[in-house]
Chain A
Amino acid sequence: MTFLAPWLLAALPAVCVPAVIHLLNRGKPRPIRWAAMQFLLDSVRKNQRRLQMRDLVLLILRVLVVAFLVILFARPAVWVPAGSSGVVPTPVSGMIVLDVSASMAQTDGRRSRLDLAREEALKTLERFSADSLCGLILATDRAVPVVPRPSNNLELVHDNLNSVLGTSSATDLLPAIERAFQELARSPGAEKMVFVYTDSQESAWRARPAILELAGKFPGIALRSIPVGNAGEPNTAITGISIQPSAPTLGKPAKVRIDVRNLTETPLDGVRVTLAANRDKPQDEATLPPIPAGQSSSANLKITFDTSGLQTLRAEIPQDLFPADNLRSLAIRVGTPGKFLILAEPTSGDHRTTPAFFLRTALVATQKGGDVQVVPPAQLTAEEVATAIAIFVCSPATVGDAQWALLEKFVRGGGGVVVFPEGKTSAALGATPSTRWLPGTLGKRLTESATWVQAGLVHPVTASWADANRTRLTNISADGRFELAPHTGAAPLASYTDGVPVAVSCEVGAGRAVLFGTSPVPASTKLVLHPFFPILVGGLVDYLAVEQSAAQALRPGESFSASVPPALIGKKVVLSSDRTEGRTDAGVVAAAETEGKIQISSVDNPGGYQVFVEGRDEAAAAFSVAIDPAESVLTTAEPVQIEAAKGDAKAAAGGAAAGGAKVTREAWMFFSVVLLLLFIAELALAHRFTMSR
């Protein structure tokens, strides 16, 4: 037995009060000279022993009443095994951590794991005494405090538990548990407990060491995990979807790879996979060969887009008891049969020595699709730019400010521009107002020859050639080049032996720009003659397109933002999902410096989304939200149980530790009953004695 307010036991000497009162009363008798003494003495002789016994019984009862009263105020409690019986010490400062990750949507056919967890949490809450404190934190891969601190408003926690909805997020219990421990450490109360209601996925406890470490930091706080759901429930999941090419072209079939994983304990046969665009009917389907238990299989389906712009792909398998991973989406940009523009002045000489020749040859060799068109810079129009996949500027000296503005707008809108200097190029390229958006500034012309440095290539375009044993780049020399000073945020693709960058790249708005230090002609660099050159150009094209697509894939709960032309500022934004009919309002286009910005916060539901701006039929942006593939693994792990210990924290994993853990339970009921009985006995005896006088 223990006491939750032991300092109140200091009042125990109050048990002497009845005795003191008794003695004080006895100590001040009124003297009376009495004649009829013989009768009084007879009465005393007959009754003295009985009255002494009566006084003694009353005194003992009164002492016990005072003692039990003091004990009751000191809040007696007894140690009981914590177990999984849901015994809650009262009063307690508790934090409820409720797992609301995607896997909690798994059902047993009637109720989801979240329903079970909610039910258990409500049961625990009902056992809290009225003077207990409780908080509520929702756990996904981050902590979402709902009742952030232990509060005496248990009704608030109750209501929030009832209204909690599941999410599609991944699970990592550490942030929520850590937050709960921190809040409890600041909270008053003798008994502090964290109650974790989770389906106990392995991924949820992946930070097990860190959670156990918390026991050392907060030794006075117990952690009780209440696992819900059945382990090893069967599940089939789409774990990945990808498209080749990454930026498909309108009207041309694209290959889509769909990965399906069998998370049951038996082989799975005949899984039908369908593929659709946006909310359309499936265009293609396939039945997978038998998938061994725990293994994955892929389906390669084809899809053809009949509209360009930002679209979504939707892959689907038959629904099971965990439907969240039976459908997966991907946001992509479908290009028109666009073209690569090469801005170069026409030449009257041998065209096979011009930059346009080498670039055209390399672009055709990349098989990236699209025509290659050489346009004099002065003839560049907005229409030309709108249909371009990427623009290669080979005669920057002849590009006027108007054309530079068109190029900048093209880049900021998501396009890609690569600039090669020529002999007439001003050394100030990149420093003038119209070219300041380029990733670097050209310096003076360098006459000494230099070769590439292959070591330390980290740029996405060139990183795959860092291994000199596979492709040797150090024999690529440059004789005519410029100094190249990268702007802030720009990254070099590669460098020469004297440290001057070969080229630099940076993000400009939604697009990319690359500035080389040499012209793509053999006179300036041997790069154009190297077999590596077409691969480099292809890499550049992919780099610009792939990076844009990657930015559209979100995790559940993440926010989406995209830059749009300033003309759209203030226009209404609506969101269209590939899983639900209709469109939902998503605010308006906000103003952000020189461009408009679409901001959609905390998108939780998985799926493909197209973002439309008022007055435009074509989607202004698109993104996909996909659950963490780890959420599909519904097998459970041993939950972490931490026993609260005064000064010496003991932490262990598994139910065995839970069985040994002990918590205190207030025994006020017992002491109240005893006190009441004593009080009634005292009253009854005192009344009886009074009546017998």
Chain B
Amino acid sequence: MKPHVVARERVQPLFDPEALARAESLGLMARSIVEGYRVGAHRSPFQGFALEFAQHREYTAGDDLRHLDWKVLGRTDRYFLKQYEQDTNLVAWVLLDASESMGYGSTTLTKLHYAKACAATLAHAILLQKDAVGFGIFDAGIREQIARTDNQGKIHEILRRLAEIEAAGQTDIGETMEKIALAFRNRGIAIVFSDFFEDEARLERGIQRLRFLRHEVILFHVLDHQEIAFEFRGSCRFQGLEGAPSVQLSPEDYRKDYLRAFGEYQARIRVIAERNACHYVLADTSHPVAEVLGGYLSLRLRMGRSR
């Protein structure tokens, strides 16, 4: 039985796999989440991605006069240039891990579905901001790409193609990031959805590659609740994915050690993120997508205001 098939058996209403499988439903869901955040908000949470004024700088010889602030000159008779944070539209590159390990779900909801829901929601919101978004779906390599677009009308196409993605193949996120870094030359934000079950050194190399190209990197660490809590009981046969062997055991006997190892692994991923100035977001599939995204975006908003 394939993981995504298992995941379709039972699902909470908002994450009904049948609904997720349809782009319309995915779009509705994404829209409802985004709209939910817009309600009562004066500014879009994605304000930081827009072309914005940053500061004034005194004119020096050789500066482009197009950026001279004439109003200041008129009032103070002094020459100041207007400086902006970004001088082009923001491009958000969403990298979605579709390897076999992402097909795991302790309930009917798999990590891949959860990641797709998050990605679709973000895409919807970014397009609403008039910014561009592009997709890269990868496993051992780049499986599929969705070209960058700032056309809101493309959202349905994006959602449809996201829905068609199934978990398969092994992961090589380090290699993939390097390739994507080359492919996505425009500087932007790389939003990575993965469980990061990967060689950590390779992962870090991939991140460093993106950071070298001055992409802002956000790591959404998508994990199933059982992977975090390991609350299995009785005798279980764990069948490894992505070529891992099987093992039969009583999970209670190994829980403590597993949790310790998994906790260390999570900490290492977090350290890698911090070391490379990346945002790290733990996406526990037992938590609602809105909670995970909202939490992160609220944080990001506070960080933007404080700057």
Q: Are A36 and B253 in contact (CB under 8 A)?
A: no
Bound: A38/B248 CA distance, A: 14
Q: Are B247 and A28 in contact (CB under 8 A)?
A: no
A interface residues, Cβ below 8 angstroms from B? 25-26, 28-44, 46-47, 51, 689-690, 692-693
Given contact pairs A39-B261, A43-B254, enumerate 10 new A-B contacts (beta carbons under 8 Å): A31-B237, A32-B237, A33-B1, A33-B3, A35-B100, A35-B227, A41-B245, A44-B249, A693-B253, A693-B256
Q: Are B252 and A32 in contact (CB under 8 A)?
A: no
Nearest A residue to B228 via CB reads A36
Instruction: Point out which of A25, A29, A51 has the most chain B C-beta atoms below 10 A from its C-beta.
Output: A29
In angstroms, how far is the closest chain B Cβ from the Cβ of A189? 49
Q: 1/0 per position for B238-269, CB-CB distance to A under 8 A? A: 11111011011100111111100110010000
Interface secondary structure of A, over-half rule = helix
Q: Which of B1, B224, B241 contacts A37 (CB 8 A)?
A: B241
- A36-B197, A40-B247 known; A31-B239 Cβ under 8 A: yes
In angstroms, how far is the closest chain A Cβ from the Cβ of B102? 8
- A32-B236, A44-B254 known; A26-B244 Cβ under 8 A: no
Tell whether B12 is near chain A: CB-to-CB under 8 Å: no
For B248, the chain A residues whose CB sits under 8 A away are 26, 29
In angstroms, how far is the closest chain B Cβ from the Cβ of A510? 100
For B197, the chain A residues whose CB sits under 8 A away are 35-36, 38
Q: Which of B103, B232, B235, B258 contacts A43 (CB 8 A)?
A: B258
- A26-B248, A39-B265 known; A46-B239 Cβ under 8 A: no
Q: Are B239 and A32 in contact (CB under 8 A)?
A: yes
For B101, the chain A residues whose CB sits under 8 A away are 35-36
Bound: A38/B240 CA distance, A: 9
- A30-B235, A30-B237, A41-B244 known; A35-B104 Cβ under 8 A: yes
Interface pairs (29), CB distance under 8 Å = A29-B235, A30-B235, A30-B236, A30-B237, A31-B236, A32-B232, A33-B239, A33-B241, A35-B241, A35-B242, A36-B195, A36-B227, A36-B262, A37-B240, A37-B241, A37-B245, A39-B258, A39-B262, A39-B265, A40-B247, A41-B240, A41-B245, A43-B258, A43-B261, A44-B247, A44-B254, A51-B254, A693-B252, A693-B253
Q: Which of A25, A29, A47 contacts B257 (CB 8 A)?
A: A47
For A36, the chain B residues whose CB sits under 8 A away are 101, 195, 197, 227, 262
Q: Are A40 and B254 in contact (CB under 8 A)?
A: yes
> Quick one: which of B264-281 are within 8 Å of A by CB?
265
Nearest B residue to A50 via CB reads B253
Tell whether B234 is near chain A: CB-to-CB under 8 Å: yes
Nearest B residue to A692 via CB reads B256
Nearest B residue to A28 via CB reads B235
For A43, the chain B residues whose CB sits under 8 A away are 254, 257-258, 261
For A25, the chain B residues whose CB sits under 8 A away are 234-235
Q: Are A34 and B261 in contact (CB under 8 A)?
A: no
4 tightest Cβ-Cβ pairs between the two chains A and B: A37-B244, A35-B101, A35-B104, A37-B240
For B227, the chain A residues whose CB sits under 8 A away are 35-36
Q: Which of B100, B255, B262 contacts A693 (CB 8 A)?
A: B255
Q: 1/0 per position for B172-215, CB-CB distance to A under 8 A? A: 00000000000000000000000101000000000000000000
For B103, the chain A residues whose CB sits under 8 A away are 33, 35
Q: Are A42 and B256 in contact (CB under 8 A)?
A: no
Q: Are A35 and B237 in contact (CB under 8 A)?
A: no
For B111, the chain A residues whose CB sits under 8 A away are 35
In angstroms, how far is the closest chain A Cβ from the Cβ of B202? 14
- A29-B248, A34-B104, A35-B101 known; A40-B253 Cβ under 8 A: no
Bound: A41/B254 CA distance, A: 10
Q: Which of A29, A47, A51 contacts B237 (CB 8 A)?
A: A29
Instruction: Point out which of A25, A29, A40, A46 has the most chain B C-beta atoms below 10 A from its C-beta.
Output: A40
For B249, the chain A residues whose CB sits under 8 A away are 44
In angstroms, how far is the closest chain B Cβ from the Cβ of A518? 120
For A40, the chain B residues whose CB sits under 8 A away are 238, 247, 254, 258
In angstroms, how far is the closest chain A Cβ from the Cβ of B256? 6
Instruction: Point out which of B238, B247, B261 has the most chain A C-beta atoms below 10 A from its C-beta.
Output: B238
Q: Are A42 and B255 in contact (CB under 8 A)?
A: no
Bound: A29/B236 CA distance, A: 4
In angstroms, how far is the closest chain A Cβ from the Cβ of B213? 30
In angstroms, how far is the closest chain A Cβ from the Cβ of B96? 16
In angstroms, how far is the closest chain B Cβ from the Cβ of A497? 116
Q: Are B236 and A51 in contact (CB under 8 A)?
A: no
Nearest B residue to A34 via CB reads B238
For B257, the chain A residues whose CB sits under 8 A away are 42-43, 46-47
For A47, the chain B residues whose CB sits under 8 A away are 253-254, 257
Q: 1/0 per position for B5-30, CB-CB distance to A under 8 A? A: 01000000000000000000000000
In angstroms, how far is the closest chain A Cβ from the Cβ of B111? 8
Bound: A26/B102 CA distance, A: 29
Q: Are B253 and A34 in contact (CB under 8 A)?
A: no
Nearest B residue to A25 via CB reads B235
For A32, the chain B residues whose CB sits under 8 A away are 232, 236-239
Bound: A29/B242 CA distance, A: 21
Bound: A40/B246 CA distance, A: 10
Bound: A34/B104 CA distance, A: 7
For A33, the chain B residues whose CB sits under 8 A away are 1, 3, 6, 103-104, 239, 241
Q: Which of B234, B237, B261 contacts A42 (CB 8 A)?
A: B261
Q: Are B238 and A37 in contact (CB under 8 A)?
A: yes
Bound: A36/B224 CA distance, A: 10
For B102, the chain A residues whose CB sits under 8 A away are 35
Nearest A residue to B253 via CB reads A51
Nearest B residue to A54 via CB reads B253
Bound: A51/B235 CA distance, A: 14
